[in-house]
A and B are shown apart, each in its own frame.
Chain A
Amino acid sequence: MTNEPLIVTKDLKKIYAMGPHRLEALAGITLSFDRGEFAGLVGPSGSGKTTLLNILGSLDTPSEGSAVVMGRAIETLTHKEAARLRNRHIGFIFQTFNLLPVYTVYENVEFALLLLGDPPAVRRRKVMAALDWVRLADRARSKPAQLSGGQSQRVAIARAVVKEPDIVLADEPTANLDAENSHNVLQTMERLNGDLGTTFLFATHDPKVMQYLRRKITLVDGRVTSDERTGGRP
């Protein structure tokens, strides 16, 4: 393991052309994240949190500037290379869980490993371990439709971490959860961050999430207005 930052962005811009107008979603973001961080992008709606998260997750490309993730410049990646980066190194957690409805909990979690080509015995061990982490081993055969919102998000977390990615990007992971489930989910992620050393990066405006963050980067109108280290949850 090197001391190189896991993610480095330099004067990152994302501009959308909207007819004759230009909408600057990101207006020159320069940031870096080290391995094992539990950080969050916070700010009001439209501040550019999700846009930045999407670029760091190689789901989108910057208009200007650079974003280097795991040593790879996002702006230079082909579709295939970007897909490989996501597949091997990045886990995603979405606000709406995005579980595959026809798969069971076990199969949803296993899916990421199938793409990696892991052998069946290894897959089984990893999936059961991931479900144990999120305390859903007993729901392995359930379909997503049979789960509560909190349980669905925990499955999504298991799916994101089962391949032991370097980075987990979570976009408003608690937006569809009640307070109790939000805390459960956040505690699970905090535990995984501590146990596995996985870097977690959130996009959120939920105060419940903010109290768990150890680093809080505030974005307003596509600009970083503050970048503060906090102690995380007391």
Chain B
Amino acid sequence: MTILKLALKNLLGAGLRTWLNVFVLSLSFVLIIFSQGLLEGMNKQAEEAMIASEIGGGHLQHPAYDPYDPLTLSDAHGPVPPTLAALAASGKAAPVLVVQGTIYPGGRLFMVRVKGIDPGQTAVNLPSSVLAAPLAGDEIPVLIGERMAKMTGLAKGDTFTLQWRDARGTFDARDATVVEIMKTSVQTIDSGQIWVPLARLRDMTGMAGEATFAVLAQDLAAPSALRPAALPSAAEAGGWILRTQDDFLADIRAMVESKTAGSSILYAIFLALAMLAIFDTQVLSIFHRRREMGTLMALGFTRTKVIGLFTLEGMLNGVLAGLVAAVYGIPLLTWMARTGWALPGNTDSYGFAIGERLFPSYSLALVAGTTLLVLLTTTVVSFLPTRRIAKLKPTDALRGRMT
């Protein structure tokens, strides 16, 4: 108790020097939590957007379908298994038929994936209902994303030629009209693809009752190791393969992890800057306060106690910094978490779905982990210079000399 009281008094008695250290350390605290919070927020936001708009509760895929290989598309379709059809009828799944196609907007040619989806589906957050609006003539209603619109130069209401191959391999073409341009942060439902009504696509391709995959509703989500009773078994699903949320999110998580490694450098720099200040102060403190150390020893302090005192003083910098960081950091970080951080320019370069504003997310583990790390590092950095005290002779200390 005496040591703690003395350490606190010494620290507060040092005035401006202490508060400068505390401020620098608190700044590191806040910046570390903010930068890590941004990453967590990016991860969370991207996952939530992808689950809502693309992944849902997972996909059941035709066995021949490989989303990364367009050459599989010609064979990757088949009748929707009855169990899956029942799920679709109850709004728990949205079958999607995918075929390869070509569009000719303004005389230019673009290879696209034509995806048919039921306009009435509720399994994923896609504005498919716009596809239900009747069009004049025999034009095909098409929904595209902003990226696709930008890439092709298409605007809402524009008409272009769509060419595709039917089930028998015969080419066919017809006019299509953009009925809506959707704003989405999920690149994988936007770039290089157009959305059309499922029934229309089935009709166009002669693939009645068929689909390539089905998006399951979010409430059917389960970790890959578990198969809830609501999900059809492989046999019930006609051999269709289940890809869970985790399977889909593995890539994005790996991507975030690689970005986390990069941000760790920033983390280390913030921490090192703060620790340099503490180390410097400790070294100076030990150098300038030798006479005080001698006095403490003359009063009955052992060298171990003196080391404890100086280490505690350094560590208390971390505690004070935590308190100061809480005073201005909590309102600041809360405000940032609410208003988000406007991302400049084209955020697609990040490689995954994040919106125009990034909302940091601060988990308890992040805050507690950072606090613990800063306190631990401060203690170690405070202790290192005090090892010299272990060699200090009381008589030298009283004369203001270092042994």
Contacts and interface: CB of A to CB of B under 8 A. Distances in A.
B303 A79 contact: yes
Interface stretch (B184-192, B211-219, B271-279, B390-398): B390-398
Contact of B395 (A59, A96, A100): A59
Contacts of A80: 302
A89 to B, nearest CB: 10
Main secondary structure of the interface of B (DSSP, over half): helix
Main secondary structure of the interface of A (DSSP, over half): helix
Nearest to A169: B298
B294 interface: yes
B395 A60 contact: yes
Contacts of A87: 299-300
A92 B394 CA distance: 13
Contacts of A115: 2, 299-301
A209 B12 CA distance: 39
Contacts of A1: none
Nearest to A94: B398
B245 to A, nearest CB: 58
Given A86-B299, A114-B2, A59 B394 contact: yes
Given A79-B302, A102-B12, 7 more contacts: A54-B394, A59-B394, A60-B395, A92-B298, A100-B6, A114-B2, A115-B2
A32 interface: no
Given A59-B297, A115-B300, A96 B291 contact: yes
Contact of B13 (A54, A60, A98, A102): A102
Given A60-B393, A102-B10, A103-B9, A112 B299 contact: yes
A39 B299 CA distance: 22
B11 to A, nearest CB: 9
A111 interface: yes
B295 to A, nearest CB: 4
Contacts of B395: 54, 59-60
24 contacts: A57-B298, A60-B394, A60-B395, A79-B302, A83-B300, A83-B301, A86-B297, A86-B299, A86-B300, A92-B299, A94-B298, A94-B398, A98-B291, A98-B295, A100-B6, A101-B13, A102-B9, A103-B9, A107-B9, A111-B6, A112-B300, A115-B299, A115-B300, A159-B299
